[in-house]
């Protein structure tokens, strides 16, 4: 017996409501039963999902690189067939470069505001940059290379570390320069600070270690 509201049907409703000219979508599935979350993530494997507890994130591209909309519908039907219930939500959409460029805030300016809001003694940051279109993923990776970015989950996003004075991570000035390079290339995205530490004093180490999903970063 299928759930009362099938996830595949939710996906069709999201597709029907997308703005004209969309290029890709970022989706979030909140699984009703956490005991089924691991199985749900396995069934969605071809979408390269990222799972955090009951929350599973993935994206789909309208064309080009990345999983397509038909793959999303097909895999969600597998969840419906196994009666894995949950809520599917739209996290964001990508727009053509010409549209996104007119609407986006400058990443470098936003970076300045994020740093200005930190305590005076901040020392280490763990940051995330989520691109608004998977079309920019490869070019973005090249421009961000000095930050040693890592890919995570199934979204067109990167994570990187910043160290203010010493230790593991890029300098904050390098972070700003790399984000400015994305601005110059008209690649829109959203940058955020996930974790921040203050006044760390590493002894015979490269700095603090964060564990995300059981892995050190």
The CATH number that domain 7-94 falls under is: 3.30.70
pLDDT one-digit tens code per residue, 66-123: 567 888 999 999 999 999 999 999 988 876 544 444 455 789 999 999 999 998 889 9
Report the distance separating Cα 185 and Cα 94, nearest Å: 16
For 166-215, how does the pLDDT look when each residue is reduced to its tens digit (9 = 90+)?
778 899 999 999 999 999 998 888 899 988 888 776 665 666 666 665 66
> 152, 50 in Cβ contact below 8 A?
yes
Classify the phi-psi angles of 161: left when phi > 0, otherwise alpha if psi is within -120 to 50, otherwise beta.
Answer: beta
65 — pLDDT class (breaks 50, 70, 90): low
Whole-number Å distance between alpha carbons of 115 and 10: 39
CATH 3.30.70 domain range(s) in the chain = 7-94
Strand order in the sheet with 122-131: 150-151, 157-163, 122-131, 189-198
What's the pTM value of the predicted model, to 2 decimals?
A: 0.54
- Does the pLDDT value for residue 137 go beyond 90? no
């Amino acid at each position: 017996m299928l759930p009362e509201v099938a996830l595949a049907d939710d996906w069709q409703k999201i597709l029907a409501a997308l703005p004209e000219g969309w290029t890709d979508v970022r989706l979030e599935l909140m699984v009703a039963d956490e005991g089924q979350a691991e199985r749900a993530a396995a069934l969605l494997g071809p979408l390269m999902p990222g799972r955090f507890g009951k929350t599973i994130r993935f994206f789909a591209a309208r064309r080009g690189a990345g999983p397509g909309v038909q793959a999303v519908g097909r895999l969600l039907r597998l969840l419906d067939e196994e009666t894995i219930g949950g809520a599917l939500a739209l996290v964001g959409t990508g727009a053509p470069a010409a549209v996104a460029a007119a609407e986006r805030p400058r990443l470098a300016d936003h970076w300045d505001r994020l740093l200005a809001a930190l305590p005076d003694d901040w020392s280490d940051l763990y940051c995330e940059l989520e691109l608004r279109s998977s079309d920019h993923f490869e070019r973005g990776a090249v421009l961000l290379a000095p930050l040693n970015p890592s890919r995570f989950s199934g979204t067109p996003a990167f994570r990187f570390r910043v160290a203010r004075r010493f230790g593991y991570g890029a300098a904050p000035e390098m972070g700003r320069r790399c984000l400015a390079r994305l601005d110059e290339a008209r690649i829109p995205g959203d940058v955020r600070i996930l974790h921040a530490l203050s006044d760390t004093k590493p002894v015979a180490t490269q700095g603090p270690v964060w564990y995300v999903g059981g892995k050190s970063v």
